[in-house]
Chains A and B, each alone.
Chain A
Amino acid sequence: MWAFLYRLASPKSFYAFSKKWQTIFAWLFIGFFSFAIIWGLFIAPMDYQQGDAYRIIYLHVPAAFLSLFIYSVMAFSAVLALVWQIKLASLVIEVSAPIGAMMTLLALFTGAIWGKPMWGTWWIWDARLTSELILFFIYVGLFSFSMLLKGQSSRYKTLAVLTLVGFIDLPIIHYSVSWWNTLHQGATLSSLKKPSIDIQMLLPLLTMISAFMFYYGYLLLGFLQQKVLWHEKDTRWVNKLYQSEGKR
């Protein structure tokens, strides 16, 4: 396991690995997404209280889950970048920030659309909604920071430190529904408790969450390949790769 991770930290091995896995992730995403969207929209039963409006859950929950998951990946990469000075980990932070921002925005948009028929309002300054909005601003801030300081070598270290500072928002988002009296419902899925959702509704939800994870994997590897190529443009392996691609 460690030997595999150690090998992956080398840009050349990572490039070869990511090329193969990006294609696999793309096909897995297409398959899982198509299946989950049909299952969630037409096959899963209607909710006894919310009617068909609950079907927004199949976009809202995966997007919200991914917004937290991506930030956790970024925080883990920040530790790797600061402690072990792994260059690839710094690139993971830089590439993940806009994807995370997009996921958070999707969670906020779908939440607002779901909120209107159920709560009677698009938005409320509730603890869960506000902390998720703060996460969106953190993502945008990190992304803007990396764009502003493009070309400066010190930016990766600062970006990693800022990512770790922003991590404080994650437990706040997760526990906001328990710590405060919120309009937003409690957790539907929990690793410790039995899920509060019926199995017929849960299965398409889990399929969609998997589809979103593959989607993130696909985008992450795609953008990382480009960053790696650019950072390694003066090395012999990129030169060789360029020559072999140029001949085709």
Chain B
Amino acid sequence: MTIFSQLTMHGYGAYVWSAYAIGVLLLFTPIFFLKKSKKQMIKAIKRHFVLKGEQ
């Protein structure tokens, strides 16, 4: 079995690799949202404390 035939998945490469590309994309999108919302949450809580302090 050559590396090329292994990489092309013996003719099924387009299906297998596109499934894995979609899979990785879908799996890593929520991680991106988690990091983004964490930053927003820290900002919102800080703002909340500042407003509370002003009162």
**Residues of A that sit less than 8 Å from B by CB:** 37, 41-42, 46, 51-53, 55-56, 59-60, 63, 98-99, 102, 105-106, 109-110, 113-114, 116-117, 215, 219, 222-223, 226, 229-230, 233, 238-239, 242, 245-246
Contact = CB atoms under 8 A, between A and B. Distances in A.
Contacts of A239: 49
A102 B45 contact: no
A223 B35 CA distance: 10
User: Is chain B's binding surface mostly helix, strand, loop or mixed?
Assistant: helix
Contact of B45 (A52, A63, A219, A242): A242
A21 B41 CA distance: 20
Nearest to A212: B27
A52 B9 contact: yes
A51 B9 CA distance: 8
Given A223-B37, A238-B45, A242-B49, A53 B30 contact: no
B22 A113 contact: yes
Given A59-B23, A102-B30, 14 more contacts: A42-B6, A52-B9, A56-B15, A56-B19, A63-B23, A106-B23, A109-B22, A110-B19, A113-B22, A222-B38, A229-B41, A230-B41, A242-B49, A245-B42
A150 B23 CA distance: 30
A198 B16 CA distance: 20
24 contacts: A41-B16, A41-B20, A42-B6, A52-B16, A56-B19, A59-B20, A63-B23, A102-B26, A106-B23, A109-B26, A113-B19, A113-B22, A114-B19, A116-B15, A117-B12, A117-B15, A215-B27, A219-B30, A222-B38, A223-B34, A223-B37, A226-B41, A230-B44, A233-B45
Contacts of B29: 102
Nearest to A55: B16
B37 to A, nearest CB: 6
Contacts of A102: 26, 29-30
Contact of A114 (B15, B38, B46): B15
Nearest to B34: A222
Contact of A106 (B15, B18, B26): B26
A107 to B, nearest CB: 10
Given A113-B15, A226-B37, A98 B23 contact: no
B51 to A, nearest CB: 11
Interface string B1-33: 000001001111101101110110011011100
A230 B45 contact: yes
A75 to B, nearest CB: 21
A233 B48 contact: yes
